[in-house]
Structure 1
Amino acid sequence: MFNLIRRDVILQKRQLLLFIPFILFFIIMGAHPALTFLIASIFIPFNTYAYDEKAETNILLNSLPYTRTEIIASRYVGAVIYMGLAIGVTSLVFFAFNKPFTITDIAIGSSLFLLFASVTFPLFYIFKPGYIFPIVMISFLLLAGIGPASVTFLAEYLTVITDFIVDLSVPALYTGATLIIVVVYVISWGITTVIYQRKAF
C-alpha cells in the first residue's frame, strides 16, 4: 500500500516544484492562514486524482498485485500523510516570510481539508473520468467564497446552536470536532471502498 502512496509523489515530481510558489502566492496575497493550509493540503491528493483521470490509471492499478481495498486505503492514508507534509512545509514558509499564524489556523485548515476530501473522494469513482475534477474545483472555489458568509448567517439565526457551541470548553470543542471529522472521514473511506469494489474497469 505504501508503494502506491510513493507512486503518487514520484508521478508528481514536476508539479511538486510548483508547490512552494503556489503557496507563496496565497501568502503574499494575504489570504487567511487557514485557507492557505487548506489549499496546501489539497495540492497533492487532488493532483493525483486529476492525473489518474487523464491516464486511466485505475486499469493499471487493478492489474497490479494490490486488492481494491488497498488501493482505496492508499488514497485515504496518503491524503492524511500529504496533508501533514503540506502543513509542515507551509508552516516553514510562513516562518521564513515572518507571517503570523496559529495552531487554530492549522486545525481549521486540516479539518476543512478532511471534510472536503470526505465528500469529494467518493465522487471520483461515481462520475465519469474527465468530468468530476472540474466540478470539484469549481465547487471548492464556490464554497471558499460563500462559506464564511454562510457560517455568519447561521450564527446569527441559529442562536440555540451558537449558544451551545459558545458554552463548550475549548478542549471539549476541539475533541468533539475531531471525533466528528474522523467519523465522517472513516465513513467516506468505507463508502468509497464499496463503490470501488463494485466498479468495472
Structure 2
Amino acid sequence: MFNLIKKDFVIQKTQILLFIPFIMFFAIFAHHMNPAFVFLLVSTYIPMNGYIYDEQVESNIFLNSLPYTRKEIVDAKYIGAIAYMILSIGIAGIILYVFNYDYTIRDIAIAVGLFFIFVAFAFPLFYILKPGYIGMAILIGLIFFAVVLPPIFRFLAEHLTTITDFLTSLSTTTLYLSGAAISISLYLISWMVSQFIYQRKVF
C-alpha cells in the first residue's frame, strides 16, 4: 500500500515543482486572505492533483490489473491524503513564517477540519463522476468553500440567535473537540462510502 501512496507523489513531479512557488505567491500577495483558507488550498494540492492525473491517464484500469485489492486502492487514497496534508501544511507553515505571513495554530486547526470535510464530500464524487468532470468538481468545490460558506455562516449567526447563543456559551476547547469529532467522523463515513462505490465500479 505504501507504493500506492507514493505513486501520487512520484507522478506529480512537474506539479510539485510548482508547489513552493504556489505557497510563496500567497505569502507575498495574499495577506488579505484568511490564513486558514491558504492552508486549506495548500493541503488539497497533492491529493486533488492525484485524482486529476488518475482521471487523465485512466490509471484505475492499470491499478486494478496489479496485485492490489480495490480496498487497498481506496485506503491508499484516504491515508495518503492525510499524509500529504500534514506534509503540505508543515512546508507551508515554514514558508509563510519566513515571509512574515501572520497565522496561528487556530488557523491550521480550522484548515485541517475543513480539509477533512472537503475531502469527505469530494472523494466519493470522484468515483461517481464520469471522466472529464473531476477537475471541474474540484474547482466548484473550492469556490463553494471560499465564496459561499462565509456568507452562510454570517447569515446563520445573525438570524439564528438560539444556535449562536448556544455556540458562544461553549468553551473554545469544546468547540474545537466537537469540530474535530464531526470532521473526522465525516471523513471515516466518506471512506466507507468510497469503498462501497469502488467495489462495485466497472472499469
Deviations 1:137-165 (A, max 9, x none): 12321331122111111111111111111
Q: Aligned with 1:122: secondary structure?
A: helix
Aligned length: 201
Runs of 4+ in 1 over 6 A off after TM superposition: none
For structure 2, list consecutive stretches of 5 or more residues without a partner in the other structure: none
Q: How many Å separate the matches in 2 of 1:35 and 1:87?
A: 12
Q: How many Å separate the matches in 1 of 2:175 and 2:34?
A: 22
Deviations 1:88-133 (A, max 9, x none): 0000011111121101100111111110000010001111011132
Q: How many Å separate the matches in 2 of 1:24 and 1:91?
A: 11
Q: 1:12 to 1:142 in 2, by over 3 A?
A: same
Determine if the alignment matches structure 1 residue 12 to structure 2 residue 28: no
Deviations 1:50-75 (A, max 9, x none): 00000000000101111101100001
Asked if the contact 2:48/2:138 (under 8 Å) is kept, the reply is no
TM-score (structure 2 length as normaliser) = 0.96
> Which of 179, 188, 195 pairs up with 2:190?
188
Aligned to 1:44: 46
* 1:1-201 mapped onto 2 (5 Å cutoff): 1-29=1-29, 30=31, 31-201=33-203
Q: How many Å separate the matches in 2 of 1:80 and 1:194?
A: 20
Q: Give the % identical residues.
A: 51
TM-score (structure 1 length as normaliser) = 0.97
Q: Which amino acid aligns with 1:57?
A: S
Q: Which amino acid aligns with 1:85?
A: L
Q: Which amino acid aligns with 1:112?
A: L
For structure 1, list consecutive stretches of 5 or more residues without a partner in the other structure: none
Q: How many Å separate the matches in 2 of 1:87 and 1:109?
A: 9
